[in-house]
Amino acid sequence: MSTTLDVSRRAAAQAQPNIALIKYWGKRDLRLNLPVVGSLSITLDTLWTRTEVRFDDALSADTMTLNGKVDAKQLKRTSACLDLLRARAGVTTRAEVISENNFPTGAGLASSASGFAAMVMAGDAALGLRLTPAEQSVLARRCSGSAARSIFGGYVEWAHGQQADGEDSVATPLLEAAAWPLSVAVAITSTAEKAIGSTEGMNRTADTSPYQQAWIDSQDADLAEARAAIAARDFERLADISEHSCLKMHALALAAKPGLLYWNAATVAAMHCVRGLRAKGLPVFFTIDAGPQLKAVCLPSAAAAVAAALREVPGVLNVVETGLGGPARLIPVADLAAA
Ligand code: DP6
């Protein structure tokens, strides 16, 4: 079989970030990027990554541009992801990757989730692999765990899986966004790139946190509770279990050596703000990932009041309001140039 392509092949895709309500933290296999726990997320809608992948035999190396700038830092992970696609297609052809985010990169807004989901979908189309969404999810997982979930829209669960080869550690959609539309207000408290990325943070936690085993042992019950809350459209129940999972993940990471402290003063002030609103009867809860942004999840009827209250919190730079969105999808290549 030829290991080159006869013509340049390109395609573009859009994926939205997702926010975990029941968190992924920790790996059971570093090479296959398999998680120690299952996780459950919601996919957003107005925040997106758009990525074009162009395979071309004339290229001597992969290239990556993010928001118009050459991104040398991301190139290694990009090439590793492209290698998985190339291996599937049986080619060695290098690729040019052009990516745009409409939100800050690397600041706890899951840009790697939408980024790798879009890249896998575009790369699959460019190479004519015709992968199923489940196969795309497995490949995206190997590039960045949370990317497995951004292949799908709405409420999504990513299974821990049992197989050593990880082929059953795949995300599946639980419920469409339209079946229970929630609103999300993202309180941005810093646009700086985070100091310790998720992979490094997870590995340090696994090596040094005394709470690692308790985290693993208690996850399945949290997942079952969140699934039941979603099936019943029970907001209070989902709020309780989601805040619990968020705080438990941060407690686990805080107890690493040295401790991982992803919050700044404004993050903590925003947590108190959300707790205060909920005490007054507003249907809202918070969740926070490996960065200083707070995501307030609420019923749409509370969205305007939640966003207004977060804007008043000292240190909150901006509040981005969004709903729940659909799956990753192919887009015309021209859409990227127009972005
Ligand atoms: C805190 O998916 O970025 O957002 O697999 O190492 O790329 P890698 O990690 P990543 O971790 C996300 C961690 C989290 C929780 C979550 O999204 O479930």
Q: What is the number of residues in the chain?
A: 339
Are 200 and 93 in the same domain? Answer: no
- Asked if the model's pLDDT at residue 278 lies above 90, the reply is yes
pLDDT tens digits, one per residue of 202-226: 999 999 999 999 999 999 999 999 9
Report the atom number in ligand 1 closest to the C-alpha of 147. Answer: 2
Is 3 part of a structural domain of the chain? no
Residue 1's pLDDT is what? 46
Are 260 and 158 in the same domain? Answer: no
Of 24-28, 108-112, 246-250, minimum mean pLDDT range: 108-112
Q: Which of 49, 77, 146, 215 best tests ligand 1's pocket when mutated (most atoms within 8 Å of CB)?
A: 146
Are 160 and 32 in the same domain? Answer: yes
If you measure from the C-alpha of residue 25 to the centroid of ligand 1, how many angstroms do you get, rounded to a whole number? 7
Report the atom number in ligand 1 closest to the C-alpha of 158. Answer: 18
If you measure from the C-alpha of residue 146 to the centroid of ligand 1, how many angstroms do you get, rounded to a whole number? 5
Q: Whose CA is nearest to atom 3 of ligand 1?
A: 198
Q: For the chain, how many structural domains are there in total?
A: 2
Query: What average pLDDT does the chain have?
Result: 94
pLDDT tens digits, one per residue of 281-324: 999 999 999 999 999 999 999 999 999 999 999 999 999 999 99
- Asked if the model's pLDDT at residue 252 lies above 90, the reply is yes
pLDDT tens digits, one per residue of 123-178: 999 999 999 999 999 999 999 999 999 999 999 999 999 999 999 999 999 999 99
Domain that holds residue 298: 183-323
If you measure from the C-alpha of residue 24 to the centroid of ligand 1, how many angstroms do you get, rounded to a whole number? 6
In sequence order, what are the residues at sequence separation of 6 or more whose Cβ sits closer than 8 angstroms to the Cβ of residue 210?
255
Residue 107's pLDDT is what? 52
Q: Which helix (H) or strand (E) holds 47?
A: none
Q: Which of 198, 219, 249, 261 best tests ligand 1's pocket when mutated (most atoms within 8 Å of CB)?
A: 198
If you measure from the C-alpha of residue 157 to the centroid of ligand 1, how many angstroms do you get, rounded to a whole number? 14
Q: Where do we find the tokens 């292949």?
A: 151
* DSSP-based three-state secondary structure for 256: coil
> In the chain, which ranges are continuous DSSP H helix?
72-89, 111-127, 133-143, 147-150, 198-208, 212-231, 235-254, 265-279, 303-311, 333-338
CA distance linking residue 49 with residue 52, whole number of Å:
10
Is 2 part of a structural domain of the chain? no
> Within its chain, how far is the Cα of 197 from the centroid?
13
Q: Whose CA is nearest to atom 5 of ligand 1?
A: 145
* DSSP-based three-state secondary structure for 247: helix
Are 212 and 77 in the same domain? Answer: no
pLDDT tens digits, one per residue of 54-65: 999 999 999 999
What is the CATH classification number for the domain harbouring 112?
Answer: 3.30.230.10
- Asked if the model's pLDDT at residue 2 lies above 90, the reply is no
State the CB neighbour count (10 A cutoff) for residue 130: 8
Task: Label residue 4 by pLDDT band (50, 70, 90).
Answer: low
Residue 337's pLDDT is what? 57
CA distance linking residue 177 with residue 221, whole number of Å:
24
Residue 245, ligand 1, Cβ within 6 A? no
Q: Where do we find the tokens 């998985």?
A: 84
Q: Which of 16, 19, 24, 267 best tests ligand 1's pocket when mutated (most atoms within 8 Å of CB)?
A: 24
> Within its chain, how far is the Cα of 320 from the centroid?
17
Q: Which helix (H) or strand (E) holds 296?
A: strand 294-298
- Side chain identity at residue 272, one-letter code: H
The secondary structure of 98-130 as a DSSP string is EEEESS-TTSSS-HHHHHHHHHHHHHHHHHT--
- Side chain identity at residue 230, one-letter code: I
Residue 20, ligand 1, Cβ within 6 A? yes
Is 1 part of a structural domain of the chain? no
Are 164 and 301 in the same domain? Answer: no
Candidates 270, 80, 122; CA nearest to 189 is 270
Candidates 148, 171, 158, 112; CA nearest to 291 is 112
